[in-house]
Amino acid sequence: MRLHSLALRDFRGVKDRSVRFRALGTTVVVGDNEVGKSSLVEAFGLIFDLPDDSKSTRIRDIQPAGQDVGPEVTVELSLGGRELTYAKRWLKNRSTELTIVEPDGRRRSWTGREAHNEAERLFHENVDPVLWQTLMVSQGQSLVLPTPADAEPLITAVTAESGTPVDGASMPLVTAVEHEYLRYWTPRGKPTGDFARSAKAVAAAELAAKQALQAMDEVQSDIRRAERLNLDLEDVSIRLTDHLSGVEVLRERKQATDEILLRRDSVRSRAETARARLENHTRTRLDRERLLEEVERFTKFEAEHAARRSDAELVAKTAAELVQAAEAALAEVVELKDVRRTEVQAAERRVSELVDRAELDRLIGQQTELVEVRARIAAAGTILDRIKVDDALVAALEDARAAVVEARAALAAGVPEVTVRRLGAEPVELSGTGLEGDVPADLGFDESTELLVSGELVVGVPGQVEVTVRAGGEAATLRSRVDDAVRREKDLLKKAGVKDVAAARDLLRKADTAAAELHEARRTEKSLTAGGDPGERIAVLTARLGTDEEESGKQPAVEGVPGQMSLFEEFASPHDTLFDGFEVDEPEPDDLAGAQRALENARDGLAEAERLLADAEFAAAQARKAADEDRSEAQNARARSELAGERLTAALESLEAARGVLDDEAVAAAEAEATAEVEAVLEELTAVQEQADAAGADQVADELAAALDVAKRLQDERDRLRDALRTTEGRLEQSGRDGLATRRDLAELELAAVRTEYESLLRRAEAARRVYETLSRHRAAAQTKYSEPLQSRIEALGRSVYGPSFRVWLDDDLAVAERELDGVRLPVEALSTGAQEQLAIITRLAISHLVSTGEGSVPVIFDDALGWSDKARLRDMGALLGRAGDHGQVIILTCMPDRYEYVPKATFITLDG
């Protein structure tokens, strides 16, 4: 089989794509992830597997998400010497079309289910499924080594190459032995068929016989159990009778001791009452002592807090006076700060006024420059508007001038040049059409002229001779070209408004100069107006400064002229003290630097005032805080003193109320009387307890409860034994009615019969196994011989990658089991991931090479392989893939084309998203 082309439409993420493969050679299909490379292989499998009316989820999965379209696949391939074109569309507008071109050139076509059935038949007749699955490596399967022992084309190829029969025996004998073996055993060696059923029947019969025998054993066990239960029941009954007599004795003892216990409980109740009365009197005495102690303690507490209250009030008064002094100082500093702030504001206004005046002067100059720049822009714009020439028009004029020159040169070279000269007295007349240059009507004596004739020239001597010169057909064409070129040149000159190309160039230079001037002026205008229109800013500053626009450009009058003296400097004497302590305002500076220095000095004064204010505020805050703390302390002292007085009054009132109920001497006497009563009751309780101990009254109840528990346990045991005995006797009675002995005899007879049948089948099955195993050993020996071609081909390909020390060993399924390199022999599982992938690719290329000349050959397809190989191995594997294309069809799908840059003679196909 050879795959020629594959076309997909509306297949997963593929809208419309067609890929053509080389029938012989290596084709590398390159595309990014999710561009649809693996969809090519999937589409080829689906078109042969599923009809167009299939409802399989595999078909629904390939429909583009969210689109109501029908996936369509078209494939062209060679199969069994025939050329097939097979197209199929699922889900939407279903269709199937198959066209076959026979080797003799006949063409046949099918549609619908017939087309599917015919394509499926041809595919299965000509493509071995094991070989197809072996040589088609899906994405992620490149590490799986092939096991192609069941691939019929490969077996045929190695048999033909080795000259060894495949089976090592005649096929009818092998088939008969396998058929007989499979009657008794599965391919894995487990019993099956009549043999397995006979074994199951023997097991079932053995189980039935075993169960019957167990039933008889259970009857004997029940007889022995019934005898044992009778003996146990009699023993428990005797023990229960003896124990019940002891229980009666304990009941009589308990009745005798109950009276003693009642009398002890009565005495205990009286003792508790006397003890409670004593506790009440003791509590009353302790409360009286506590009240006396509180009166004494609160008297001292009230005196101490009265003294503390007086001291705290004196401290609070002193702190209030300090607060008043601090607040007065703070008010003075606040007033000073206001004065300094007023000075700063005045200085800031002066600095702002001087800054505005400087800005106004700058803006006036900028506005003057802006007027000049806009005049330049207007002038340059006027020049550019008048000039109609540009680079394209000048280039067109130059091309037209060159065309005129070229056409005239061609005309001069391609038409005749005639020279006419008058020699005699007779006049010579000239006329004609298509003449280049000025043509005189006649010639004077000894006068001559040279003419290019592109049409017709008539030279005549009246009454004597007339000569006509005509140009050929090509001359008319050359003349037409000259006229067209001249006409185009004139049109362009008229459009430009100039007389020639030189004038156009001169205008173009003027336009460039004007454009540059315009660009520079506009750039200057943009720079001057970057902060806005100067006129608007000038108007704002003029209004702010209170000056007229006419006077805005004048400098302010200078007031502080050197040499001037203030009235104080002129009239005040150095020794005069009339103005001491009177602050004279300094004149405002007229320069910006002086104004800024004055502002800094004013700010320094304000900062000093703010520092003084902060210190004064801190001192006032500290004074207030101290006054608040002292006032709070005085209030607390007053509250504590008042509380101490209240507590003392309450304690005195409580003491007087308690004495009104019972005085101090009566409290002590009541406590002594209660103590004597408690002692008397305790003596009586001790005597009663001794009497109860002597009679053992406290232990009798526990002994009786324990004896009753034992009696209940013995009764429960007796009842359980009775129930078990009844159950056992009932089971024995039922066993006698079931005929267990008869069932046992029948089960033994059935077991003997099925064993006889099973032993007969076992002998035949063992014989079939021995023959099959013997034949398999011979076939394995033969298989070792015919596996040699595949092993040799794998080693030959592998040595081109790994070197001359490369060897492999195959197992019974013709899969590579071990590899040897540089004398080290390892199982395939112990190799690195890259080595396993390379070995799997080499094996598949060897299989393809062996079957490439047969009818059952198929393409080798690798989807995303060589992902674990280093650069050196990629180079060697690329060369190997290129050589493999010389013997068969190799198709590689990859998103990493760099892996296959070393594949010689490969055809690369790039899939776009």
CA 406 and chain centroid, separation = 70
Which residues are CB-neighbours of 698 under 8 A, at least 6 positions away? 261, 692
Which uninterrupted H or E stretch holds 110? strand 107-111
36: amino acid identity, one letter? G
When the pLDDT of each residue in the chain is averaged and rounded to a whole number, the result is 80
- pLDDT tens string 595-617: 778 878 888 888 888 888 888 78
DSSP letter at 26?
A: E
Single out the residue of 170, 180, 184, 181 nearest to residue 778, CA to CA.
Answer: 170
Residue ranges of the chain whose pLDDT lies below 70: 140, 142, 149-152, 158-174, 434-438, 472-473, 531, 547-590, 734-741, 743, 778-786, 853-856, 913
Rounded to whole angstroms, the Cα distance separating 119 from 113 reads 10
Over residues 504-556, the pLDDT tens digits come to 888 878 888 888 888 888 888 777 777 677 777 777 777 777 754 444 444 44
Query: CA 816, CA 801: separation in Å to the nearest integer?
Result: 17
Whole-number Å distance between alpha carbons of 29 and 35: 11
Cα 787 to its chain centre, rounded Å, is 51
- Claim: this prediction has a pTM higher than 0.75: no
* Residue 779 pLDDT: 62
> What would the two tokens of residue 631 be?
């006032």
**Going by C-beta distance under 8 Å and a sequence separation of 6 or more, which residues neighbour residue 516?**
none
Say if CB 907 and CB 28 are below 8 A apart.
yes
